[in-house]
Structure formats: C-alpha cells, structure tokens
C-alpha cells in the first residue's frame, strides 16, 4: 500500500549499494552516452572507515555490527543456521574477508560434466573478460599460475606463502596457490598493504577492497540521487513490466518510477522484495544455499608453520574438480594464518589451521518466504544436501591422501559444520527458461523485462569458491548487455 506517492521517474532505480549494485552502476554509467537520472535506495547508513574504526575502539561489541543487524533483519525459522551480512552502505564489503578465487569452468556446467545440479546459461568464457575487469577494480593480488584459465597477470603480486604452503605448492603446483585476494599485497589507491593482522572484519589499515574505499565516488556523482535509510519492500509489477519501487523512508511510504529497476539487496532481500510484489515465478525464494565449512588442525612433527603474507595465504584445489563430483561435492581448501599457537613447550608453531569449504546443491525446500511484516523475510534452511555431506564424510581419508607430504603428528577435526560461510546464494536462479529459474543469463527477470536481479541469488549451482568476485563480474556483464 502506497501511503504517499511521489511521481518521480528515473532512468535507473538501483536497490542497495553492495558489490552487486556498485559494479552494475559503474558499468552502466560508463556505457551511457546521454545524461541519466539514477535513484539509489539504500536501507542502511553510510559509515566511513574512520567512523567504523572509532566504533570498534569504543564499543567492544563492534564485530557484531553485521551479525546483530542481520539477526534483526530476518525471521530465521532455523536459527541453528546463521545468515550474516551488513545491511548498510557498501553492504558486506564492509565486513568481508576479501577472498576472490574465480570459479572453475566446470562450475558453470556441473550437470553436463558430472550429471549433478544444473548448468548455468552462460559459460566461463562468457564471463572471462568481466572477471579480469572485476579483479582490476578490486586490485586483486594473486599468482601467475592458477587452476582456472587466466590470460594476464593479477593486478598486484601474490601474497607470500607460509613454510607449510611452500611444501604443498611444491607437491601440487597450480592446484595449491597463493590465494587470489582483494587484500592488497601493495598499497593501492586509498588502501594500504595488508600486514596480516587477521582482523579483516574491519581491516585496521584499510587494505581490503570495500565499496567505501574504492567505489563510493560513484554515488557522489551529480546525476545520482542516493537515499539512505530507504527500505524497499516491494515493486509495482503490472503485466510484464516493473513500473515502480515501493519503499519507506522516515516512516513514510513512497513510490518511484523507473525505466530500469535493478535489485542488488542480496539473495535474501531480492527474493523477499519479489515475493512481496506478487512475482508469480514458482522458483522465486527457493533454493537458498551456501557452502559448508569444516575446520581441521594439523599438528606437525618438527615442522614450524611460519610466514604467510595474509590472513588466508593459500588455497588448495586438490579436492575441488574431478570425477568425484559425480558423487560428492567439490572442496576448496583455505589455509588460515590467524595468530594461534600449539599449547606444547617447544612446539608452539608446529601447527596449521585449514578450512575445508564444500559446495552445495540448491534444494527447493530451503527458502525465503514473505512474513506478516513487509520488511522481514522468513528464512528456512532444512540442511545441506547429501551430496555435500558425502564429501564431508570423506574428509579424514582426503586428509590422509593429500597431506601425507607433511610430517603430520596429529589431526584434530571439528565434528561440526560451521554455522555459516556468509555466502548467501541461489534464491533467484538463472536459467534458460522460466520453468527452471527466475532470471536469464543477463540477469533480467524472465517475465518483467525491465527488471534485473543481481547478486549470488542468481547462481544455479554455487561451486566451492567464494562467490563475490563472480557476482561482481556478472553485474559488470549485465550492465554491458543492457
Ligand atoms: C563476514 C563476511 C565475510 C565474507 N567474506 C567473503 C570473502 O572473503 N569472499 C567472498 O567472495 N565473499 C565473502 N563474503 C560474502 C560477500 O560479502 C557477499 O557475497 C557480498 O557482499 C554480496 O554482495 P551483494 O551486493 O549482493 O549484497 P550485500 O553486500 O549484502 O549488499 C546488499 C545491499 O543492499 C542493501 N539492502 C538490503 N535490503 C534492502 C532493502 N530492502 N532496501 C534497500 N536496501 C537494501 C544493503 O544495505 C546493502 O547495501 C563475506 C560476507 C561476510 C558477512
Ligand atoms: S589480514 Fe589484516 S591487514 Fe590484511 S586485510 Fe585482513 S585485517 Fe587488513
């Protein structure tokens, strides 16, 4: 219900200011030859990096900004599974860790390669130039040799490997690499070089890419109107057109008309806004998904784990791609470099912490739903798929197989899956036709052809890799193909 309508019209209305929206806006503005009128609706507030540091110094619950806001922003029917994000200007770029591996080519064609999940309606090759562009914008640091095809060098040199990483890299070559990351290995723009302080939730030296430190200028342009504190709750969908965006600001309900409307509110809120609006696509909200992570500590006999240029210096791809994906999920290995020690005299540094991150397959039973409150989505997650759980069951055997090159004295494996990987995916999946998904390969809604749905909600399958580089590349591509 529109309490107070304002009959303003815009060329583009963009919802949210995170990765999905900002990368889209950047390309959209570059492509426009005529002046354009853009309205940006952002539910949260804008904090500078300095303000965030100040909060952190004065409020020892700061780390909870994203967790606490996220908990209040949804009705979580299955709270044993957490969903975390920062609903403010810049979205979760404020609190992300900055890990930016690309997906593998097979991630885009899981069904035709391994008979599992779905194929994406676009290929790795279709996205390759946009991957390069997104890496350039984020000034990603990374190695020359990678397991996925890559034409040029990364913008910044790779972070240093630790002593343990060096042994694994010698054994596995380009399947064990310095992690591609948006934590800068050298000072760049407003960002200092990463110094491995390992509190990336709020980087003290502003080393990781954030929207605030690199793309905030987009929102300061004269033809862009940004409304902070503007909470979008629906769209006016008539026939096959999205006519306007409905939002609340300062307690008042308003409406703005857009030629093009792009939702970049993340996989929970994009789906919720569509459901509130009466989107009849049966897939909207279904398939909520993210990876499953398990921590393992290795204790070494005589090997000190030292060095390592960042909080996660390396990624292992030995358990990622291959025939096993017919039966069980891909796994991406992260080597963590937090300051922790082994509590045994003389052996303080003889340990490693690895996280094994498994892909999952979207399941329609895991979903976002409307609630009685227009602003609160209901979220239900029944559990990870048997495809993922089978791979996790295999973990001890895989460790024996892939880590025998290290002098392992003891393996301590968590008996539980982490509550969240903070990667929300697959509620508005991409597909060739509307029976199987919500948007097409250009992220345009199958029915409402002036409506784009951005972000990792569009992933038909989610891979084991972190999602944000790929969703940023998809936003660049979507704006390029408008
Ligand atoms: C702690 C943490 C660590 C992470 N680390 C990594 C990592 O290392 N690598 C990686 O690839 N990914 C990581 N992620 C995930 C990554 O942050 C997300 O994939 C990414 O932020 C998604 O971008 P987005 O723009 O789609 O959504 P978001 O970043 O969530 O942005 C959504 C935007 O929309 C706004 N919004 C939401 N609802 C509304 C509404 N109703 N009306 C108006 N505005 C609205 C929000 O305020 C926000 O500005 C991490 C996430 C977290 C929380
Ligand atoms: S490891 Fe430290 S310096 Fe590097 S990005 Fe994280 S917090 Fe910043």
Q: Ligand 2 mean position to 190 CA, how many Å?
A: 14
* CA dist list (Å): 62 to 44, 69, 202, 408: 16, 11, 9, 38
Output the pLDDT for position 1: 35
Using an 8 Å Cβ cutoff, are 446 and 280 in contact? no
The answer to whether residue 40 is domain-embedded is yes
Return the pLDDT at 250.
96
Mean pLDDT (whole number) for 440-469 = 98
- The finding on whether 42 has its CB within 6 A of some atom of ligand 1 is yes
Q: In the Cβ-directed half-sphere of 189, how many Cα atoms lie within 13 Å? A: 23
Quote the number of domains for the chain: 1
- Ligand that lies nearest to the alpha carbon of residue 179, given by its number in the listed order: 1
Considering every ligand atom shown, identify the ligand nearest to the alpha carbon of residue 246 and give its number: 1
Q: Indicate whether 68 belongs to any domain.
A: yes
**Model pLDDT, residue 60:** 65
265 within ligand 1 shell (Cβ under 6 A): yes
Sign of the alpha-carbon dihedral angle for 12, 16, 22, 23: negative
Q: Is 180 in the pocket of ligand 1 (CB under 6 A)?
A: no
Poorest-pLDDT segment among 54-63, 103-112, 169-178, 424-433: 54-63
Q: Are 118 and 108 spatial neighbours (Cβ–Cβ below 8 Å)?
A: no
Partnered with residue 263 across adjacent β-strands are 15, 453
Domain that holds residue 117: 8-480
For the segment 168-185, the average pLDDT, to the nearest whole number, is 98
CA-proximal residue: ligand 2, atom 6 (nearest): 200
Distance 307 CA to ligand 2 centre (A): 15
183 Cα nearest atom in ligand 2:
5
Q: What tokens does 328 get? A: 């069980």
Residue 7 has pLDDT above 80, yes or no: no
Q: Atom 4 in ligand 2: which residue has the minimum CA distance?
A: 194
Give the Å distance between the CA of 359 and the centre of ligand 2.
26
Q: Is residue 48 part of a domain?
A: yes
- The whole-model pTM stands at 0.97
Does residue 350 belong to any structural domain of this protein?
yes
Q: Ligand 1: distance of its center to the CA of 229 in Å?
A: 17
Q: How confident is the model at residue 53 (pLDDT cuts 50, 70, 90)?
A: confident
Per-residue pLDDT at 138 exceeds 70? yes
* Mean pLDDT score across all residues of the chain: 94
Ligand nearest to the CA of 456: 1
- Is 256 inside any structural domain? yes
List pocket residues of ligand 2, CB cut-off 6 Å: 98, 183, 194-200, 203, 205, 207-208, 310-311
Note the pLDDT of residue 3. 39
Q: Is the pLDDT of residue 119 over 90?
A: yes
| pLDDT tens-place string over residues 151-170 | 999 999 999 999 999 999 99
Residue 210 falls inside a structural domain: yes
Q: Is residue 371 in a domain?
A: yes
The whole-number average pLDDT for the span 434-438 is 95
Pick 17 or 63 by higher pLDDT: 17
Q: What is the pLDDT averaged over residues 318-339?
A: 95
Q: Stretch 442-470: mean pLDDT, rounded?
A: 98
Mutational pocket test of ligand 1: of 92, 199, 276, the residue with most ligand atoms within 8 Å of the beta carbon: 92
pLDDT at 52: 86
38-47, 190-199, 325-334, 435-444: least confidently modelled range: 190-199
Q: Domain for residue 344, yes or no?
A: yes
Q: Nearest CA to 424 among 471, 386, 387, 389?
A: 471
209-260 pLDDT, tens digit each: 999 999 999 999 888 999 999 999 999 999 899 999 999 999 999 999 999 9
Q: Which pLDDT value is given to residue 33?
A: 87
Cα–Cα distance measured from residue 58 to residue 34, given in angstroms and rounded to the nearest whole number: 47
Whole-Å CA distances, 375 to 15, 73, 368, 369: 14, 8, 13, 11
Q: What is the CATH number of the domain that holds 384?
A: 3.50.50.60
Nearest CA owner, ligand 2 atom 8: 203
């Amino acid at each position: 219900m529109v309490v107070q309508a304002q009959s303003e019209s815009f060329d583009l209305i963009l919802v949210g200011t995170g990765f999905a929206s900002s990368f889209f806006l950047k390309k959209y503005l570059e492509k426009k030859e005529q002046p354009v009128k853009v309205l940006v609706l952002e539910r949260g507030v804008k904090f500078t990096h300095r303000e965030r540091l100040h909060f952190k110094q004065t409020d020892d619950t700061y780390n909870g900004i994203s967790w606490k806001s996220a908990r209040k922003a949804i009705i979580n029917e299955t709270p044993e599974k957490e969903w975390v994000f920062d609903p403010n200007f810049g979205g979760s770029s404020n609190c992300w860790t900055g890990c930016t591996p690309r997906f593998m080519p097979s991630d885009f064609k899981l069904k035709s390669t391994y008979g599992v999940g779905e194929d994406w309606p676009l290929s790795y090759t279709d996205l390759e130039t946009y991957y390069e562009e997104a890496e350039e914008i984020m000034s990603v640091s990374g190695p020359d040799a990678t397991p996925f095809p890559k034409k040029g060098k990364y913008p910044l040199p790779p972070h240093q490997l630790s002593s343990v990483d060096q042994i694994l890299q010698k054994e596995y070559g380009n399947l064990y690499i310095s992690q591609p990351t948006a934590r800068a290995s050298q000072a760049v723009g407003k960002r200092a070089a990463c110094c491995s302080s390992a509190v990336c939730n709020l980087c003290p030296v502003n080393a990781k890419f954030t929207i605030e430190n690199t793309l905030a200028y987009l929102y300061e342009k004269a033809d862009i109107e940004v409304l902070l504190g503007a909470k979008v709750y629906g769209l006016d969908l008539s026939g096959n057109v999205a006519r306007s965006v409905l939002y609340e600001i300062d307690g008042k309900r308003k409406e703005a008309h857009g030629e093009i409307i792009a939702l970049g509110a993340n996989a929970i809120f994009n789906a919720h806004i569509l459901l509130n609006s009466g989107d009849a696509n049966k897939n909207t909200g279904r398939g909520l998904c993210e990876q499953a992570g398990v921590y393992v500590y290795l204790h070494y006999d005589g090997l000190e784990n030292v060095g390592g240029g960042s909080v996660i210096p390396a990624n292992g791809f030995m358990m990622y791609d291959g025939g096993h994906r017919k039966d069980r999920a891909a796994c991406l290995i992260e080597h963590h470099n937090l300051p922790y020690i082994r509590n045994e005299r003389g052996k303080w540094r003889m340990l490693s912490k690895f996280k094994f991150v498994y892909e999952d397959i979207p399941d329609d039973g895991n979903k976002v739903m409307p609630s009685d409150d227009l602003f609160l989505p209901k979220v239900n997650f029944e559990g990870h798929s048997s495809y993922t759980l089978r791979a996790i069951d295999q973990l001890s055997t895989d460790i024996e197989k892939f880590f025998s090159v290290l002098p392992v004295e003891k393996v301590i494996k968590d008996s539980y899956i982490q509550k969240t990987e903070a990667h929300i995916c697959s509620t508005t999946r991409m597909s060739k036709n509307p029976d199987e998904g919500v948007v097409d390969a250009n992220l345009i809604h199958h029915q409402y052809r002036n409506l784009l749905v951005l972000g990792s909600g569009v992933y038909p399958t989610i891979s084991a890799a972190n999602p944000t580089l790929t969703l940023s590349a998809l936003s660049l591509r979507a704006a390029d193909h408008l």
